Amino acid sequence: MEITWLGHSAFIVKGMNSIVIDPFLTDNPSASTTPDKVSCDIVCVTHGHGDHVGDAVAIAKKNNAKILTMVELASHFEKAGCEAIGFNIGGSVTVGNTKVTMTQAVHSCGADAPGLEGGAGVPAGFVIESGKTVYHAGDTALFGDMALIGMLHPLDVALLPIGGFYTMDAVQAAKAVEMLKPKIAVPMHYNTWPPIKADPEQFKLEVSKVSKAQVRILKPGESFSI
Ligand code: NI
Ligand code: MN
């Protein structure tokens, strides 16, 4: 499996299928690519905030990709002309050879992307099983039931917000790693804008105190393989 950080919370995961998560590229000051260059089979959207919905509609349409997201948000994508599968926290969907399970996230959620105004259910994260197993936490505070996510799904990789202000910070995210027990932890959702300024080296240091997980600090556009 190859994982590429596109900046902010956007990743491309190439496992048994090609999955893009939270593809916020247009107007993202940290974006490493543009929507027209993204190819994928599946688009996962954690919640309705604009910095996560991003270019999901354009990317899904161009690739004939299915959008996997919260049931209320899925209806917005369907109205926008996309093929969306709406499910809910605790449930799983299999597309191709990839199984996606929706997990809890502790956050708020409107649907503030253009054309997606209105209710969007609640925010979520995803466990993506596509050869290897990756957890994308979405936007979330630290919560104790992350231990259950790690217990149910032995994780190869955890993608975790560390920027603070809207989500958990680097110290809290290290506690998340302690509970999730992934082999590799990757920080995200930091340094895109001044309010979420954070030092990924602090995250790495804090993780080393509580976990054997390897921390991979990526630059936008950078990939690694597992
Ligand atoms: Ni958000
Ligand atoms: Mn966000």
Domain around 132: 2-218
Residue 96 located in a structural domain? yes
Residue 223 located in a structural domain? no
pLDDT tens-digit series, residues 33-90: 999 999 999 999 999 999 999 999 999 999 999 999 999 999 999 999 999 999 999 9
Q: What 3-state class would DSSP assign to 203?
A: helix
pLDDT tens-digit series, residues 94-105: 999 999 999 999
Read off the pTM. Answer: 0.97
**Phi, psi dihedrals of residue 3, rounded to the nearest 5°:** -120, 125
Report residues near ion ligand 1: CB below 5 Å.
Answer: 49, 139
Nearest to 196 by CA among 158, 139, 146: 139
Strands across the sheet with 92-95, in order?
Answer: 92-95, 98-104, 124-130, 132-136, 157-161, 184-188, 214-215
* Mean pLDDT, the chain, whole residue set: 96
| CATH code of the domain covering residue 144 | 3.60.15.10
Sequence-ordered list of residues with C-beta below 8 angstroms from that of 53, at least 6 positions apart, any chain:
22, 24, 45, 73, 111, 113, 116
Q: How far is CA 18 from the centre of its chain?
A: 14
Residue 226 located in a structural domain? no
Report residues near ion ligand 2: CB below 5 Å.
Answer: 51, 139
Q: Which residues of 35-57 are buried (b: 16+ CB within 10 A; e: fewer)?
A: beebebbbbbbbbbbebbbbbbb
CA of 125 to the centre of ligand 2 (A): 12
CA of 46 to the centre of ligand 1 (A): 9
Sequence-ordered list of residues with C-beta below 8 angstroms from that of 163, at least 6 positions apart, any chain:
169, 189, 190, 191, 192, 195, 196, 197, 198
CA of 154 to the centre of ligand 2 (A): 26
CA of 214 to the centre of ligand 1 (A): 26
Residue 225 located in a structural domain? no
**What is the number of structural domains in the chain?**
1
CA of 74 to the centre of ligand 2 (A): 18
CA of 8 to the centre of ligand 2 (A): 8
Q: Which residues of 165-192 are buried (b: 16+ CB within 10 A; e: fewer)?
A: ebbbbbebbbbbbbbbbbebbbbbbbbb
pLDDT band at 211 (very low <50, low <70, confident <90, very high): very high
